[in-house]
Copies of this chain bind each other. A is one copy, B any other.
């Protein structure tokens, strides 16, 4: 049975670029095939462009964004080390939970959901943390957390940034902003199906990697021996790389770089702001104050008298449009509407606005 085509305007996955679909039917290659290794090398080079970094260890982890989060933490934390985590949404909470499981002494610095992180409060939370961890674009609230001040004032700590919803959707400068570790996801602004976590680690972070972390699958020293090879360029098998997904990511990154990173940022900005203006024109309230509001992911308050689930079900069944519900304290109170990747098109914004207006009015 063929599956339905959806207009994906939730918090991810977004619709994928046509180039990714075309790559999906390429023949499967082995993980040690020189042709595949060439594609992997090019994928890593493209990821460096998108992350704006020269970090040699920049590659797609074989798991979703949460695997990237775990990889960043399990390789960097020795038991008892202090990790300062900024929490202003679900994914900050998740970082704190994962860090705690890997033995960190977690100092959680909390801010209200829907408000930005105060970077000064993070830096003053502890005199010498091993890691300061923050989410760039909080998918649960639609808030952007400013990173530039933090990077300049992190001291000796490693700065760990969740870029799941920001990468390729807005400026993110790993090197210039002093970010040491970052993980993303393929299914947001990269316009590629879920399954891989683009990852980057600075040489400074690498030097501090722990020996023999508890996770073997996510042991980045072992993974690096495959993705980067040794001094002679020889690659050692670690686990079987998901070659077809890497080929898909390679194609998606190709589409992004062909459009141009800045042009892509502008498209996410234009479509997201048009969506927000349209929602406000309909009389709806947005959760996040304008200065801290993401373009690519909008949280809109569900108006009184309108049922959350009925509305989302109707959008899906009548128009084949997916939007997201709220999570945590925002469950039932907001919708999350994404304009990410190939979904971030003006025609999609108009379609969504018209469908939502019609559905609420029914």
Decide if A66 touches B216 in the complex (CB within 8 Å). yes
Decide if B6 touches A29 in the complex (CB within 8 Å). yes
Q: How far is the CA of A30 from the CA of B67 in the complex (A)?
A: 19
Decide if A70 touches B35 in the complex (CB within 8 Å). no
Knowing A6-B29, A28-B6, A216-B94, the reply to whether A63 touches B62 (Cβ < 8 A) is: yes
Knowing A63-B67, A66-B239, A216-B94, the reply to whether A8 touches B24 (Cβ < 8 A) is: no
Q: How far is the CA of A101 from the CA of B217 in the complex (A)?
A: 11
* Chain A 287-339 interface residues, beta-carbon cutoff 8 Å to B: 316, 322, 327
Decide if B215 touches A12 in the complex (CB within 8 Å). no
Min distance, Cβ A341 to any Cβ of chain B, angstroms:
10
- Which of B4, B33, B94 is A322 in contact with, Cβ under 8 Å? B33
Which single residue of chain B is at the shortest CB-CB distance from A244? B193
Decide if A25 touches B24 in the complex (CB within 8 Å). yes
Decide if B13 touches A27 in the complex (CB within 8 Å). no
Decide if A240 touches B64 in the complex (CB within 8 Å). yes
Knowing A31-B13, A67-B63, the reply to whether A25 touches B26 (Cβ < 8 A) is: no
Decide if B16 touches A4 in the complex (CB within 8 Å). no
Decide if B30 touches A215 in the complex (CB within 8 Å). no
* Chain A 36-82 interface residues, beta-carbon cutoff 8 Å to B: 36, 39, 62-67, 69-70, 74
Knowing A2-B26, A62-B195, A240-B187, the reply to whether A316 touches B214 (Cβ < 8 A) is: no
Set of chain B residues within 8 Å of A13, measured between Cβ atoms: 28-31, 240, 243
- Confirm or deny: A278 has a beta carbon within 8 angstroms of a beta carbon on chain B: no
Q: How far is the CA of A13 from the CA of B30 in the complex (A)?
A: 6
Decide if A214 touches B64 in the complex (CB within 8 Å). no
* Chain A 85-108 interface residues, beta-carbon cutoff 8 Å to B: 94, 97-98, 101-102
Decide if B195 touches A245 in the complex (CB within 8 Å). yes
Decide if B217 touches A70 in the complex (CB within 8 Å). yes
Knowing A216-B101, A240-B185, the reply to whether A27 touches B3 (Cβ < 8 A) is: yes
- Which of B5, B35, B102, B327 is A4 in contact with, Cβ under 8 Å? B35
- Confirm or deny: A212 has a beta carbon within 8 angstroms of a beta carbon on chain B: yes
- Which of B16, B243, B327 is A28 in contact with, Cβ under 8 Å? B16
| 10 CB-based A-B contacts, threshold 8 Å | A8-B28, A12-B30, A15-B28, A24-B24, A62-B63, A66-B240, A194-B242, A195-B245, A214-B214, A214-B215
Given contacts A66-B217, A193-B242, 18 further A-B contacts (CB under 8 A): A3-B27, A3-B39, A5-B27, A13-B28, A24-B24, A24-B25, A33-B322, A63-B63, A65-B240, A67-B217, A74-B215, A97-B216, A187-B240, A193-B244, A193-B245, A194-B242, A195-B245, A215-B215
